Amino acid sequence: MNEKSDRLRSARVSAGYETAADAARAMNIAAPTYSSHENGSRGFPANVAERYAKFFKVDPAWILYGDRDKNAPVVARVENGHPAPAKTDLVPVYDIEASAGGGAVVDYEGVAYSLAFPPDYIRRVTRASPSNLTIISVKGDSMEPTLKDDDIVMLDMSKTSLGYEGLFVIRVYDVLHVKRLSHSGPGQVMVISDNRENYPPREYPMDEVEVVGKVIWKGGKV
């Protein structure tokens, strides 16, 4: 599907509308207008793509450019002090970074802004309450290829027990890391990077490793 008209048709079919006229009627727009957008005889701008994407529950960037998963959530940035868009769950984005490298001392923890997610998408990702969710940035290359520099990760802050499945953001000696964990002996925990060639596992006393939260979602550049 090289044309946005083709992707629009795919979105309509996936949403369960048998014909272009059915979709136009449901959106309360003129059938010839919508049909011309879908059959490619007329182009349509970004704001129209956003309207169609919201209705069909796909990513507008996918309709416009085809460079993202069509089922990616439609996420809106919400500045501090501003209300959340209707029918969304806000997840705060903190102005801190978890190191996927050598480590970074945490000296400031404040909410920079929030991301508004559709509630049904949050429920597909986790059973946790949105109030227990937080997003932070990842710096470094020690977790490649799983996480890349400048990716963002969503944490379930209710999961603060040492666990050995999945990824965790941990605090060790006032430094945040995003790592895998493994039991390595009585009172010890092994902190593991995915890029093991450049970052070998390191062992710490268990009481020096604080679990901040479990990574349940990631986002990054396309």
The span from the CA of 139 to the CA of 109, in Å, is: 16
Question: CATH number of the domain at 76-219, please?
Answer: 2.10.109.10
The span from the CA of 5 to the CA of 58, in Å, is: 14
The whole-number average pLDDT for the span 124-134 is 90
The whole-number average pLDDT for the span 24-33 is 95
Domain spans of the chain?
A: 4-65, 76-219
Token pair of 16, please?
Answer: 């369960």
pTM of the entire structure?
0.65
Query: By the 8 A CB rule, do 136 and 105 touch?
Result: no
Query: By the 8 A CB rule, do 150 and 99 touch?
Result: no
CA atoms within a 13 Å half-sphere pointing along the CA-CB vector of 16: 3
> What would the pLDDT profile of 82-101 be if each residue is shown by its tens digit?
877 777 888 998 887 776 65
Question: CATH number of the domain at 4-65, please?
Answer: 1.10.260
The span from the CA of 191 to the CA of 34, in Å, is: 54
Residue located via tokens 């990824």? 167
> What would the pLDDT profile of 208-219 be if each residue is shown by its tens digit?
999 999 999 888
> What would the pLDDT profile of 3-19 be if each residue is shown by its tens digit?
889 989 988 888 889 99
Q: What percent of the chain stands above pLDDT 70?
A: 89
| Residue 31, pLDDT score | 95
* Residue 143 CB contacts under 8 Å (≥ 6 apart), including other chains: 100, 167, 178, 179, 193, 194, 195
> What would the pLDDT profile of 99-113 be if each residue is shown by its tens digit?
665 554 444 457 888
- 3 state SS of 111: strand
